Protein backbone atom coordinates (compact mmCIF):
# COMPACT_ATOMS: atom_id res chain seq x y z
CA UNK A 1 0.00 0.00 0.00
CA UNK A 2 1.38 3.38 -0.95
CA UNK A 3 0.97 6.15 1.54
CA UNK A 4 0.34 9.69 0.48
CA UNK A 5 3.02 11.79 2.05
CA UNK A 6 1.76 15.06 3.39
CA UNK A 7 -1.81 14.00 3.98
CA UNK A 8 -2.49 12.49 7.35
CA UNK A 9 -4.71 9.51 7.66
CA UNK A 10 -7.35 8.94 10.27
CA UNK A 11 -5.95 7.10 13.28
CA UNK A 12 -9.03 5.06 14.00
CA UNK A 13 -8.17 1.47 13.29
CA UNK A 14 -9.70 0.27 10.08
CA UNK A 15 -10.27 3.75 8.74
CA UNK A 16 -8.18 5.09 5.88
CA UNK A 17 -9.81 8.42 5.28
CA UNK A 18 -7.96 11.68 5.29
CA UNK A 19 -7.59 13.21 8.73
CA UNK A 20 -9.07 16.62 9.28
CA UNK A 21 -8.66 17.19 12.99
CA UNK A 22 -6.29 16.17 15.70
CA UNK A 23 -7.47 15.56 19.22
CA UNK A 24 -5.76 14.47 22.39
CA UNK A 25 -5.25 10.77 22.58
CA UNK A 26 -6.49 10.69 26.13
CA UNK A 27 -9.83 12.10 25.11
CA UNK A 28 -10.26 9.69 22.27
CA UNK A 29 -9.44 6.79 24.50
CA UNK A 30 -12.29 7.77 26.77
CA UNK A 31 -14.66 7.56 23.86
CA UNK A 32 -15.66 4.39 22.06
CA UNK A 33 -13.40 4.99 19.08
CA UNK A 34 -10.54 2.55 18.80
CA UNK A 35 -7.32 4.24 17.88
CA UNK A 36 -4.34 2.54 16.33
CA UNK A 37 -1.91 1.41 19.04
CA UNK A 38 1.08 3.09 17.40
CA UNK A 39 -0.49 6.43 18.06
CA UNK A 40 1.50 8.18 20.78
CA UNK A 41 0.24 11.63 21.71
CA UNK A 42 -2.53 13.00 19.61
CA UNK A 43 -4.92 11.19 17.35
CA UNK A 44 -5.88 12.39 13.93
CA UNK A 45 -9.48 11.94 13.00
CA UNK A 46 -11.29 12.15 9.71
CA UNK A 47 -14.40 14.25 9.42
CA UNK A 48 -16.74 11.39 10.18
CA UNK A 49 -14.89 10.11 13.19
CA UNK A 50 -14.42 13.60 14.52
CA UNK A 51 -18.15 14.09 14.39
CA UNK A 52 -18.66 10.82 16.18
CA UNK A 53 -16.13 11.84 18.78
CA UNK A 54 -17.79 15.21 19.30
CA UNK A 55 -21.13 13.55 19.66
CA UNK A 56 -19.84 11.31 22.40
CA UNK A 57 -18.14 14.07 24.28
CA UNK A 58 -21.34 16.05 24.26
CA UNK A 59 -23.44 13.38 25.86
CA UNK A 60 -24.30 15.58 28.79
CA UNK A 61 -26.34 17.79 26.52
CA UNK A 62 -29.18 15.40 25.99
CA UNK A 63 -31.72 18.11 25.39
CA UNK A 64 -30.09 18.86 22.09
CA UNK A 65 -30.97 15.45 20.74
CA UNK A 66 -34.59 15.83 21.73
CA UNK A 67 -34.80 18.99 19.72
CA UNK A 68 -34.37 17.17 16.44
ZN1 LIG B 1 -11.85 7.87 10.39
**Ligand 1 center–CA 7 separation, angstroms:** 13
Asked if residue 51 has pLDDT above 90, the reply is yes
pLDDT top residue among 66 and 7: 7
Mean pLDDT of the chain: 84
Query: Tens digit of pLDDT for each residue in 13-40?
Result: 999 999 999 999 999 999 999 999 887 8
Rounded Cα distance, 65 and 62, in Å: 6
What pLDDT score was predicted for residue 62? Answer: 57
Q: 50: closest CA among 29, 33, 63?
A: 33
Residue 39 backbone phi and psi in degrees, to 5: -75, 125
What pLDDT score was predicted for residue 67? Answer: 56
**Ligand 1 center–CA 19 separation, angstroms:** 7
What pLDDT score was predicted for residue 1? Answer: 47
**Ligand 1 center–CA 47 separation, angstroms:** 7
Instruction: Considering only the C-alpha atoms of the chain, give the largest distance between any 2 of them, rounded to a whole number of Å.
Output: 45
Amino acid sequence: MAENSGAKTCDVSGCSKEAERSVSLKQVRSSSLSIRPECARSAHLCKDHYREFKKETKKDRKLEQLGY
